[in-house]
Chain A
Amino acid sequence: MSEAVSALNGQSFVGIVKIEEAGPQGMITLRGDAGAAALQKAARDVAGVDMPGIRGIAAAGDRAIAWMSPDEWLILLPHAQAHEGVATLRTALAGTHHLAENVSDARALFRVTGEPARLREVLAKLAPADLHPDRFGTGEMRRTRLAQVPAAIWLDSAGEARVICFRSVASYVFDLLSVAAAPGSEVGFFDA
């Protein structure tokens, strides 16, 4: 197989937080009936974790499942294993109404790291979502918009956030995040 190249080739920016394009990331979209036992088992077998509840994201090692909508999940796994993951899902779900597709190369993933309050601030400048620590914490997947494009954000830890967007708007999102993280642009809204 040809060598996978991510949207921005690992471009990074350091301001009040650090923005990095995270490189190739395997992603599988899985859709189906949330109540189907076969679907839950197949997802667990591929991702190594149980399917999370509403708006959740459950991770184990380099794999995770994120809740995207009542009938859609995003499975994160190493890029090289995405094809195999889709094949496994399709075999396991033969006869069950479902959709499994490798979307790794249709998306871009960013890692935003830094001081927890600064990190929330950078995201909050761009998204109409309530990112107060009482309302948004680790283990939650928030699909929203960043300025003009849809995106999904979650916190890996207090000091590390991940942002997924469509690959076609990767440079736009990178520029947005970089401007929001420009040195001297601290707001201090989330400072305790």
Chain B
Amino acid sequence: MLILECPCCGVLADETELAPGGEAHLKRFGPGASDDEFEGYLFMRENPRGVHFERWRHVNGCGKWFHAARDTSTLEVFGTYPAQTTEPPRDIRDRISARRPGWTWREFA
């Protein structure tokens, strides 16, 4: 069972109180983008065994979206952080580096 701390209301929310929102930090490609860019934005997703960044919504609580960094195989949670960011914050990345040296995820490491 996954328990994530909602950064908006501070509640330690059980997975069943949350709604998953898929992969985090997608870069949107819209009108004017190439077919390859648009295909990547629509369909290409990471599917890692290990470090992963996701969006979650505290649907049965404060209703806000947030980001979470976790390990998909051990369910270890490295941290949660606000939705208003386009990349994982430095402190979260440092925490992951301490636990999983050499990790990479998309262009982040």
A interface residues with partner B (beta carbon < 8 Å): 54-55, 68-70, 72, 128-130, 142-145, 150
Residues of A within 8 A of B61 (CB): 69, 143-144
Chain A nearest Cβ from B103, distance in angstroms: 30
Evaluate contact between B10 and A55: CB separation under 8 angstroms: yes
Q: Are A130 and B12 in touch, CB under 8 angstroms?
A: yes
Q: With a CB–CB cut-off of 8 A, which chain B residues contact A55?
A: 9-11
> Which residues of A sit under 8 angstroms from B8, Cβ to Cβ?
69-70
Please name all residues of chain A whose beta carbon is closer than 8 Å to the beta carbon of B63 when the two chains form the complex: 69, 72
Q: With A54-B10, A70-B8 known to touch, is A143 a contact of B64 (CB < 8 Å)?
A: no
User: Can you give 5 contacting A-B residue pairs, CB < 8 Å?
Assistant: A69-B63, A70-B9, A130-B12, A143-B62, A145-B60
B9 touches A150 (CB 8 A): no
Complex contact B62–A128 (CB within 8 A): no
Q: Give the residues from 41 to 58 in chain B that come closer than 8 angstroms, CB to CB, to chain A.
A: none
Cβ of B16 under 8 Å from chain A? yes
Q: How far is the CB of B53 from chain A (nearest CB, A)?
A: 22
7 A-B pairs with the lowest CB-CB distances in the bound complex, closest first:
A128-B14, A69-B62, A145-B60, A150-B60, A143-B61, A128-B16, A69-B63
Chain B residues near A54 (CB, 8 Å)?
9-10
B4 shortest CB reach to chain A, Å: 12
Distance to closest chain B CB from A155 (angstroms): 16
Q: In the bound complex, do residue B17 and residue A142 qualify as a contact, i.e. CB atoms below 8 Å apart?
A: no
Residues of B within 8 A of A145 (CB): 16-17, 60
B residues near A (Cβ < 8 Å) are 8-14, 16-17, 59-64
Across the interface, name the chain B residue whose C-beta is closest to A128. Answer: B14
Smallest beta-carbon distance B84→chain A, Å: 12
User: Interface residues of B: mostly helix, strand, loop or mixed?
Assistant: loop
Knowing that A70-B64, A144-B61 touch, tell me 17 more A-B residue pairs with CB under 8 angstroms. A54-B9, A68-B62, A69-B8, A69-B61, A70-B8, A70-B9, A70-B62, A72-B62, A128-B16, A128-B17, A129-B14, A143-B61, A144-B60, A145-B16, A145-B60, A150-B59, A150-B60
Q: Which residue of the partner chain B has the closest CB to A150? A: B60
How far apart sit A128 and B6, CA to CA, in the bound complex (Å)? 14
A69, B9: Cβ atoms closer than 8 Å: yes
- Least CB separation from B8: chain A residue: A70
A143 to B17 alpha-carbon distance, docked (Å): 9
Which residues of chain B are near A129, meaning CB under 8 Å?
Answer: 11, 14, 17
B residues near A143, Cβ cutoff 8 Å? 9, 60-62
Give the distance to chain B from A107, nearest Cβ to Cβ, in Å: 15
Closest chain B residue to A130, Cβ basis: B12
Rounded to whole angstroms, the CA-CA distance of A128 and B11 in the bound complex is 11
- Provide the bound-state CA to CA distance between A142 and B9, in Å: 10
Contacting residues, chain B, for A150 (C-beta < 8 A): 59-60
Determine which of B13, B14, B64 lies in contact with A69 in the assembled complex, contact meaning CB atoms within 8 Å.
B64
